[in-house]
Amino acid sequence: MNHDSTFLSNATEATIRIGILALLIAWCFTIVKPFLIPGIWGVIIAVASYPGFLKLRDWLGGRTTLAATLITILGLFILITPTVLLSGTVIDGAEALAQGVQNERFAVPPPPAGIKDWPLIGATLDSSWRHASQNLMVTATQFTPQLKSLGAWLLSMAANLGIGLLQFSLALIIAGLLLAHADNSARTAYAIAQRLAGEKGASLARLAEATVRSVTRGILGVALIQSLLAGIGFMFIGIPGAGLWALLCLFLSVVQIGLLPVTLPMVIYVFFTADTGPAVLFMIWSILVGAMDNVLKPILLGRGVAVPMAVIFVGAIGGFLSSGIIGLFVGSVVLVLGYKLILAWLEDNTKSSSP
């Protein structure tokens, strides 16, 4: 009875302690949850910009805080300036489009003769296009439910974009703080990795670091270059709302769909509204920009990582589809680390089974 009473007392005390500990962890998670995504982004930005930070720090004579501050200010400038320009372009384009439709100055050119011969969609597309070219307002009235859904989606996307802008600004500040204490941050990260993975922790931490930089260059970097060059082409040729289309190009490039769903209609539009010479130049420019990822991505994606490029690519895209843009990095890092752990396990089994 004495033993049972002691056991029951110890079990009750352990349960209370575990419950209080679980409650404390859940409470702490609730408090830091709003900062979780900016924190992850801050770590990603700090890791990706660390080589540049080291060069800037050396150039400034070892002034760590000044180098981190300059990188943070530069990041905020790069983030805010295109956002302001994009917002102005979108608002001006929307106002011009609305006024043109109301005053019946905006006209849709008639469809080309060969469209009605396209299989499956040719006749329907030709009929809808012809009605829009004859009376745009009547055609728009027929698609009122779809336009309302599109408007609601655009408003939702704009709201999410504003929240994302605030989160990314906070992430840049967090990245600056991490870079200002880069040595301590690196020691903490390596200590956690060694605590979790033992003697292989340091190599896995270096692998995760190289993977983040590889994905930054190979996917986001290429997408940013493509969308920027595509936006320059849109602005040069005079396409309304060029900033909005450039943003859509950035999204399509990140999810690996490519720029064709945007550039192909733009090329057709330009051929109908501009002279032949500029239209041909714009078509060539669009083809070159769209094919650029086929050259840059193999060069940048697997650079510095002793892992097949397909593993990084599958992890990045799978992570994006499951967890959004954060998954681009988290998915690739997790899949690369899992790939390395499986290889290490297979090597250990081979060594232990060999005579």
Look at residue 154 and tell me if it is in a domain.
Answer: no
Mean pLDDT of the chain: 76
What residues contact 26, with CB distance under 8 A and at least 6 apart?
none
Confidence of residue 102 (pLDDT cuts 50, 70, 90): low
The string of pLDDT tens digits covering residues 26-78 is 999 899 888 887 888 788 888 888 888 888 888 988 888 888 889 889 888 87
Look at residue 214 and tell me if it is in a domain.
Answer: yes
DSSP state of 118: S
Look at residue 184 and tell me if it is in a domain.
Answer: no
Look at residue 289 and tell me if it is in a domain.
Answer: yes
Joined together, the tokens standing for residue 22 give: 């679980």
Q: Give me the mean pLDDT over the 144-159 stretch.
A: 61
Buried b (16+ CB within 10 A) or exposed e, 190-211: beebeeebeeebeebbebbbbb
Look at residue 27 and tell me if it is in a domain.
Answer: no
pTM: 0.63
Look at residue 330 and tell me if it is in a domain.
Answer: yes
Domains held by the chain: number: 1
Look at residue 346 and tell me if it is in a domain.
Answer: yes
Q: What pLDDT, on the 0 to 100 scale, is given for residue 89?
A: 58
What residues contact 203, with CB distance under 8 A and at least 6 apart?
none
Look at residue 247 and tell me if it is in a domain.
Answer: yes
The string of pLDDT tens digits covering residues 116-138 is 667 666 777 777 777 666 665 55
The domain of 251 spans 204-350
